[in-house]
Amino acid sequence: MALELLKERWQGKIYEVIVGATKSEGGSRSHSIKLGGQTTLPLLRQEGVSPNKPQIALEIWDVAPIDWPEELVKNYKDVFSDPLAWAEKCVKTYKAQSLCIRLMGSHPDFGDKKPEAQAKLISSLLKKVSVPLIILGCGDDEKDNAVLSACCEAAKGERCLFGNAVQDNYKTLAAAVMADGHSIIAESPIDINIAKQLNILISDMGLAVEKIVINPTVGALGYGLEYTYSIMERARLSALAGDKMMGLPFICMVGQESWRAKEARASSQEFPYLGPEKDRGIIWEAMTVAALIQAGADLLVMRHPMAVEKVNKYIEELAK
């Protein structure tokens, strides 16, 4: 007698969010990326549908980062001073399917660039590359409100993904993305209750839930990854059980967290037992991504092209 696999049936689903508008959709992107759409837990395709595979975005900055380790820097040092050349290298050389630009130069401590200058940069970037864009602020609320609003207008019709909206500073960005046809990243500090409340606040302003992506903030391998995993898992279980305000895709800033880890950046001379530097950071980033994909991550922002290559192979294997 053959045994039948017991399957869980869920009443909820994850909303599908589309980033990037093609020419037929009123934009100029070569393609769009789709996030979410699942009716089951990660990788359990026999219990439901998972129509969209996890997506990778390579991270670039509008100014040269000052704290990236050498093993990461050497991939981009020839283009660090030119964000347009950096973006082009990511697309042409490293085959990036989407880009995440962090406008750190807007920060008062990193150049204090004006909204007009950053809007002009985004306009130029949209002409330089044709992949979908994720556009992040500098983390200073006052500057981000002005800069990201100007960038939303500059990218009108391109259906970009803008962030980060937080509980104490979401209204200006939510209004801007709603006016110009973009989507928003709702960031919460690894807290499922704050994440849900922020999603409610943003949707109450009139932005459709299909335009919201959750940034749960993550920890890297060895630095809170287990807690991150448990929060994402709880959120996904809640969504599939029918909680619509939790049924949104996840974006995870993996590169940022992974390359902060001592193990990823420490000198081999100082810590010989950790192994060669040229492999360590790549492995740290790739392993963090692998775990977060199993937790339900839909869009992963990464930094090292070799780590991206390894993760793409992993995603293709999972797709089989």
Decide if 200 is inside a domain.
Answer: yes
Decide if 4 is inside a domain.
Answer: no
What integer pLDDT is reported at residue 42 of this predicted model?
94
pLDDT tens string 59-78: 999 999 998 999 999 999 99
Who contacts 221 (Cβ-Cβ below 8 Å, separation ≥6)? 258, 261, 284, 287, 288, 291
Decide if 12 is inside a domain.
Answer: no
CA 310 – CA 238 distance, rounded (Å): 31
Count of domains forming the chain: 1
pLDDT tens string 273-308: 777 888 899 999 999 999 999 999 999 999 999 999
Decide if 7 is inside a domain.
Answer: no
Structure tokens given for 205: 């302003």
Who contacts 97 (Cβ-Cβ below 8 Å, separation ≥6)? 31, 33, 55, 56, 57, 131, 132
Decide if 73 is inside a domain.
Answer: yes
What integer pLDDT is reported at residue 266 of this predicted model?
82
* Cβ proximity of 242 and 12 under 8 Å: yes
What integer pLDDT is reported at residue 1 of this predicted model?
64
Decide if 5 is inside a domain.
Answer: no
What integer pLDDT is reported at residue 281 of this predicted model?
93
Q: Which residue stretches of the chain have pLDDT < 70?
A: 1
Decide if 51 is inside a domain.
Answer: yes
Q: Is the pTM of this model over 0.75?
A: yes
Decide if 10 is inside a domain.
Answer: no
What integer pLDDT is reported at residue 18 of this predicted model?
98
CA 290 – CA 317 distance, rounded (Å): 12
Full residue range of the structural domain in which residue 140 is found: 17-319
CATH of the domain at 106: 3.20.20.20
